[in-house]
Structure 1
Amino acid sequence: MAVKLFGKVLIATDGSENNRSALEEGIKVVRECGGAGYAVYVIDSRTLSTSSAEIPVGDACEVSMEEAKKAFDLLKSMSGDVKFETKILDGRPGMEIVKFAEKEGIDLIVIGTKGKKGLERLLLGSVAEEVIRSATCKVLVVK
């Protein structure tokens, strides 16, 4: 009888093209390990209120919710028979990903090196960096 290497795998997604490789790798890990798949999308509502004076906060929240839905739809279309529990979180992305992982007893977090702010950091995205520094479980960073 095979032992599950990772019983619970969390994929952090932002729906960006930069994140696609992380989705692919995370799906592979869940499929190969036969574990439970989780996916989170974090809306940083702090940035919504300061993003633009021309866009009302309510509209910005609605746009963010729609982006989350698209990110989860992409995951679903890529994952085939592998099922994922999805969750939209609110707060600072790195911190919320780590808190969710701890709460759910996640064994592995899969995250991309760059997301929507691909040029924000030269080598490693700030969210990925925070997750690596703060997570108590293993982290797979996908380029």
Structure 2
Amino acid sequence: MKRRPYRKILLATDGSENAKSAACSGIEIAKRTGSEVYVVYVAGISCCSPIMPESYDWEVGKEGSEAVAEIEEMGKEAAVPVNVVLLQGHPAQEILDFAEKNDIDMIVMGTQGTAGIDRFLLGGVTEKVVRHAKAEVLVVRAPCP
């Protein structure tokens, strides 16, 4: 059975160094295959407070914009157009839903995301995506060359 080339690649980011390394690898794959790239940042929902101050929304939006801007720049340097997607919800589920609704062929992620309390609240996002994705998932550990 002949394998079809990747048409759409999702780069999941949380702004961490691991996510940037994964995005670098994903952009290289997209450049070689001519794939369309979507960089997805999901602002997680806090389990601790149903009511968040307005400043929290602003800060999350700022973090997401900064995270995707770095990857957009990587894409420009590689001459690979990048579509930016900012979502809010449970990161693993939002990534899975977006991938399915948009016929994503490959999801590229880092091995771990943010540190500290955010990582605890978000849980094993990569593991959940690997277990439940219908698309192929590439998990990147090493820094991009």
Regarding TM over 0.5, the answer is yes
- Aligned residue in 1 for 2:99: 101
- Aligned residue in 1 for 2:65: 69
Query: After TM superposition, which residue ranges in structure 1, 4 or more long, deviate above 2 angstroms?
Result: 45-50, 117-121
After superposition, what is the alpha-carbon deviation per residue over 1:38-94, rounded to whole angstroms, capped at 9, x for unaligned?
0100011334737xx9xx521111101001110111012212221111111111101
SS of 2:109's equivalent? strand
- Aligned residue in 2 for 1:31: 31
> Structure 1: how far apart are the matches of 2:20 and 2:57?
23
TM-score (norm 1): 0.84
Amino acid at match of 1:78: M
Amino acid at match of 1:7: R
Report if the CA contact (8 A) 1:48-1:61 is conserved: no
Greater shift, 29-38 or 76-85, is seen at 76-85
- Aligned residue in 1 for 2:81: 83
What 5-or-longer segments of structure 2 have no aligned partner? none
> Structure 2: how far apart are the matches of 1:97 and 1:64?
17
> Structure 1: how far apart are the matches of 2:116 and 2:109?
13
Alignment: residue pair count: 134
Amino acid at match of 2:83: E
Give the deviation of 1:18 after TM superposition: 2.5
- Aligned residue in 2 for 1:40: 40
> Structure 2: how far apart are the matches of 1:21 and 1:29?
13
> Structure 1: how far apart are the matches of 2:93 and 2:109?
13
SS of 2:22's equivalent? helix
Change (3 A) 1:24 1:58: same
TM-score (norm 2): 0.83
What 5-or-longer segments of structure 1 have no aligned partner? none
After superposition, what is the alpha-carbon deviation per residue over 1:9-35, rounded to whole angstroms, capped at 9, x for unaligned?
000001112222101101111111101
- Aligned residue in 1 for 2:20: 20
- Aligned residue in 2 for 1:111: 109
Amino acid at match of 1:111: M
> Structure 1: how far apart are the matches of 2:131 and 2:59?
30
Identical columns (%): 37
Amino acid at match of 1:42: V
- Aligned residue in 2 for 1:5: 5
> Structure 2: how far apart are the matches of 1:18 and 1:101?
20
After superposition, what is the alpha-carbon deviation per residue over 1:82-133, rounded to whole angstroms, capped at 9, x for unaligned?
1111111111101110000000000000010011138959xxx700000001
